Each structure stands twice: as structure tokens, then as C-alpha cells.
Chain A
Amino acid sequence: KNQVEQSPQSLIILEGKNCTLQCNYTVSPFSNLRWYKQDTGRGPVSLTIMTFSENTKSNGRYTATLDADTKQSSLHITASQLSDSASYICVVSDSWGKFQFGAGTQVVVTP
């Protein structure tokens, strides 16, 4: 069973609207959680990295939250733009440096 589950699998939003992506994990012992954005045909690009003690981290219009007690994270995209169309991948690493990847959420922003 995958130790990192993302939802929804895909979503379509109108340009200018907000959206929230979810990531639930069971990885233990937890080290950090990362959100990546991957454009089609390109390598993933890091958006945020959060450790156990961090609850919120922002990168421009992207805001990630982490609840280490419930093992949940979310990525909020504010005022979406067409360039936000991409796959968003949640990655959790354990204390030994091994990464577990979520399947990703495919976001499509329409004009």
C-alpha cells in the first residue's frame, strides 16, 4: 500500500480561482514533506519543504500546511493562473533519507 496518498487525482479550475490539494501519509519515522510541481515533459520543481515543527510554508501563491499529528498536508493555490496547470506531487521522506512519492494531482487551469 502506498504510504503517501494524494487527492483528488485531478481537478479542473477556472483561472483566478483558488484550490486545495490534499496529501495523507503514513511514513514513519517522519523527516520532512515536500511539494513539487511538474510541468509536462519536465523534471519536478520544489515548491516547499516542511519539517515536523513547521505548520505552514508559503512560496508566492502556493501555501502548504502540515499537521504532523494527523499526518496530513495540503497545498493551497491562490488566484490560479494558466501556468499553474501541472502535476503536483507530495513527497515524504523518513529519517533514513528514503523518499515515498504520492501519485500526484493533475491540475488543469482553464481560461
Chain B
Amino acid sequence: SQQGEEDPQALSIQEGENATMNCSYKTSINNLQWYRQNSGRGLVHLILIRSNEREKHSGRLRVTLDTSKKSSSLLITASRAADTASYFCATAGTGGFKTIFGAGTRLFVKA
């Protein structure tokens, strides 16, 4: 079964607005990664946050990690139509070698 669970399952916003996606997981992790997938480019790595980090930024992306709540959030600021895609969180556990992906959040940004 998938360890990561994203919330919401789908999100529709206007261009320029911010989009926030959440991810929850179940067991201890080494790190958590966010990926984007669209039909044109496949799965692309966005950002990696390690278990000893609480927040990380990359351009318009901001990721937070709360290991006590076993949750993470991805914030995309000033969204663009090109941000339309599915976003997945993926966890690398401490007890094995698997990378576990959630079911994803489908983001639609209207121009």
C-alpha cells in the first residue's frame, strides 16, 4: 500500500493564486521528496527535504516538514498555467530501501 497520502486529491485555482498541497505518511523517514508529473515531461523531481530539516525553498516552491505529525506541505506561489500537473510526495524510509509515492494531487491552474 502507498505510504504517502496527498490532500486534496484535486485542486483548481486561478493563475496568480497560491496552491497548497499536503502529504501525510506513516513511518519514520530519511527524507521526503516532491515530484511533478505532466503528460509532456513525465515525472520530474522538484525538491527534497531531509528529516532533520523543517522548511526548504526553491524558486516559487516552499516545502515544510513536520516529523512529529508525519506530514509535509508543498506551496506553489504565484501559480502559472504551466504548473498544471499532478504532484506527488515520495518518502524514503529508514527501515528499508523503498521509495513510496502517494496517489498525488491533481492541480489545474486556469489562465
Bound pair (A, B): no
A residues with CB within 8 A of B: none
Q: Write the residues of chain B forming the contact surface with A, with a CB cutoff of 8 angstroms.
A: none
